[in-house]
Amino acid sequence: MREHDVAAVTGRELEQARRDLAASLALARADSPARVPILAQITAIDAELAGRSGARPDELPGSPSP
């Protein structure tokens, strides 16, 4: 798997990307296969933001529930 370097991405940019993904997730049907990569990206953003703030990803506001 290819690693992604998001060190140059600001927290504000990550939060905007997360909001955009959350909107896409809200529009996706419950049985849509598109939900899987969207949720994976949201989880990755949550982990990055948590790492920057010292919080656990599941403690961040708006974290998706499985």
Locate the domains of the chain by residue range.
Answer: 11-58
Residues 6 or more apart whose CB falls under 8 angstroms from that of 44 comprise: 4
Report the pLDDT value the prediction gives residue 2, as an integer from 0 to 100. 66
Query: CA 36, 49, 3, 23 torsion: positive or negative?
Result: positive
**pLDDT higher for 65 or 47?**
47
- Per-residue burial over 13-30, b if 16 or more Cβ lie within 10 Å, else e, is ebeebbeebeeebeeeee
| Per-residue pLDDT band at 25 (split at 50, 70, 90) | very high
pLDDT higher than threshold 90 for residue 41: yes
| Per-residue pLDDT band at 52 (split at 50, 70, 90) | confident
| Per-residue pLDDT band at 58 (split at 50, 70, 90) | low
Radius of gyration of the chain (CA): 12
